[in-house]
Structure 1
Amino acid sequence: MDYPHCVGAFWGEINATVHRGLGLCGVLTNGVMRDLGDVPEDFPMIAGSVGPSHAFVHVEAIGVPVSVFGLTVAPGDLVHADRHGAVVVPPDIIPVLAAAIEKLRATERLILEPARQQGFDLAKFEEAWARFEAART
């Protein structure tokens, strides 16, 4: 609620460990996080900043939509987040998501595998790119 002037960290070793124990699989916040060396390794945390202070940080509400850096997240949303950012996955995409990811990975392999081989040159790149373009469309 105090973004962009956040000074206190709610998310650190204790809250990350407690929430992981409650079944959460990570956190996305525009607030502050702390205890970087002590949070569970399998509990990804993406935050607006890192800081040493607890300050006066407290929970205002549970189970309500929130806005994190302009991304609105509602209870039940599937969120994909990594070091590059976060997106809410639309519910109608979820049934086809696995197949779409596999198609993406397969088409990327058409470029990556030849590029990692000895003797890769412009002619081999052009061949790989043609296969890549044909597979994408």
Structure 2
Amino acid sequence: MKESLLKRLRAVDTPTVCNAIEVAQGQRGFNAFTRGTVLCSDPAGGAIVGFARTARIAACRPSDEAPEVVRGRRMAYYRYMSEAPRPGIAVIEDLDGENAIGAYWGEINTEVHKGFGMAGALTNGVMRDLGDLPADFPVVAGSVGPSHGFVHVRDFDEPVTVFGLTIHPGDLVHADRHGAVVIPAEVIGRLEAAIDKLMATERIVLDAARAPGFDFDRFERAWSEFEAART
């Protein structure tokens, strides 16, 4: 990924990226985004941008596998995360779903993943230690809770589904307090220009609405200009 695109993506929110993808595609209908409400450990901390490293966990009940198998998979998982492409994002599906109780993302785990050089985490599961999480490592999660339960890694490097969005290993993900999107590979080369075009066309209406004397007639003229510019 070009450094200029990475910088641009980090500077805009996820709704902007969602709209810009449609600009790049030349049509509406893009739907590779999360559904429902998410929680963000650092709402003002900006976006997470990275290539997905995926895993699935569970925590409501202990694993029925031998302890050495559980530990071996855990260490293999951490090696996998440590070797993530840069930028990388950990995308973790909690198989307990709405009943999730295991706060996988607390102070220790976030510090470890940040130390590996990853940009943040996206999970439908639980986070905790909100006052102690490291700076510059946002976690977008489904809930907040106090305990890790019997949390253990079930598998990794496979497709996962979080908030209704299926994410494959290596997908380029943009996430913030609004949710997450998977950026289609075919638009990556056009996305920077699409963001610039989107923001320029939106300013036509925004500048008019913020100017003194704004009324319906000025809105109608601005909207016509807006529609002509975005096609």
Structure 1 stretches lacking a partner, 5+ long: none
Alignment pair present for 1:115 and 2:214: no
**1:22-33 maps to which residues of 2 (within 5 A)?**
22-33=116-127
Tell me the distance in 2 between the aligned counterparts of 1:111 and 1:36: 38
Tell me the distance in 1 between the aligned counterparts of 2:129 and 2:163: 22
Find the counterpart in structure 2 of residue 62 from structure 1. 156
Q: Kindly report the root-mean-square deviation, in angstroms, between the aligned alpha carbons of the 2 structures.
A: 1.3
Tell me the distance in 1 between the aligned counterparts of 2:110 and 2:123: 12
Instruction: Give structure 1 regions of 4+ aligned residues with deviation exceeding 3 angstroms.
Output: none
Going by fraction, where is strand more abundant, 1 or 2? Answer: 2
Tell me the distance in 2 between the aligned counterparts of 1:87 and 1:53: 29
Cα deviations by residue, 1:31-81 (Å, 9 ceiling, x for unpaired):
101112221232121111111111111223332221112211121110111
How many pairs are equivalent? Answer: 137
Tell me the distance in 1 between the aligned counterparts of 2:202 and 2:100: 40
Secondary structure at the aligned position of 2:161 is classed as strand
Find the counterpart in structure 2 of residue 96 from structure 1. 190
Structure 2 stretches lacking a partner, 5+ long: 1-94
| Matched AA of 1:104 | L
Tell me the distance in 2 between the aligned counterparts of 1:18 and 1:6: 22
For normalisation by structure 1, the TM-score amounts to 0.92
Tell me the distance in 1 between the aligned counterparts of 2:139 and 2:219: 38
Tell me the distance in 1 between the aligned counterparts of 2:180 and 2:211: 33
Tell me the distance in 2 between the aligned counterparts of 1:97 and 1:134: 20
Going by fraction, where is helix more abundant, 1 or 2? Answer: 2
Alignment pair present for 1:8 and 2:134: no
Find the counterpart in structure 2 of residue 39 from structure 1. 133
For normalisation by structure 2, the TM-score amounts to 0.56
Tell me the distance in 1 between the aligned counterparts of 2:135 and 2:225: 39
